[in-house]
């Protein structure tokens, strides 16, 4: 699906995760499903997450972008924002996803932009707007994540071992 792009994170967030030995770009990637679907996260902060996904390979039988593919993009972006809001001591778990599909797309790239609606101590809600290459809204989505305390064993598989003592 092309070469992997580097996600842009605020430097203070990069530093916070690096101090814990966490590879932030790998941790906040699109995950296995998103990777198979070609999702690329371009920019990520608790205030705004931007990502893209190709239409090709993510269509339904009529040749239109599959609504489930839009849902994957929306949940990926909203989850990244929720995790960044929660910080290193929290795990974001999606509890509600709502998607309204406005128009069909047959080709090109769609772009999703997630912005917070609510950022609390125990939940975070993001609105995700997915647009086509002409800037027309394809889908409006809303994701709410539960922010629960991280527990032993919740360490992401992308942590790196520190050799310094």
H runs (alpha helix) in the chain: 11-18, 24-27, 31-36, 67-86
Q: Both tokens of residue 64?
A: 């239109």
Q: Is the pLDDT of residue 54 over 50?
A: yes
Q: Can you give the pLDDT at residue 158? A: 47
Q: Can you give the pLDDT at residue 160? A: 40
Is 50 within 8 Å of 42 (Cβ atoms)? yes
Catalytic residue among 75, 127, 133, 155: 75
Q: pTM for the full model?
A: 0.83
Beta strands in 1-133 (DSSP E): 40-45, 48-54, 90-101, 109-119, 123-131
Query: What DSSP state is assigned to residue 87?
Result: -
Q: Both tokens of residue 130?
A: 């997915």
Tell me the mean pLDDT in the region 33-49: 91
Q: Can you give the pLDDT at residue 2? A: 41
3-class DSSP state for residue 159?
Answer: strand
Q: 75 an active-site residue? A: yes
Is 90 within 8 Å of 72 (Cβ atoms)? no
Of 160 and 57, more confident: 57
């Amino acid at each position: 699906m092309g070469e992997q792009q580097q996600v842009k994170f605020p430097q203070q967030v990069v530093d916070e995760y690096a101090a814990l030995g966490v590879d932030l770009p790998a941790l906040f990637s699109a995950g296995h499903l998103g990777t198979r679907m070609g999702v690329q996260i371009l920019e990520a902060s608790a205030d705004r997450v931007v990502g893209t996904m190709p239409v090709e390979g993510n269509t339904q039988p009529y040749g239109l972008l599959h609504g489930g593919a839009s849902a994957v993009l929306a949940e990926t972006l909203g989850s990244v924002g929720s995790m960044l809001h929660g910080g290193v001591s929290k795990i974001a778990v999606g509890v509600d996803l709502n998607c309204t599909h406005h128009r069909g797309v047959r080709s090109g790239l769609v772009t999703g932009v997630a912005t917070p609606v609510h950022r609390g101590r125990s939940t975070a809600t993001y609105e995700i707007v997915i647009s086509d290459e002409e800037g027309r809204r394809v889908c409006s989505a809303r994701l709410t994540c539960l922010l629960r305390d991280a527990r032993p064993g919740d360490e992401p598989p992308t942590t790196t071992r520190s050799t310094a003592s």
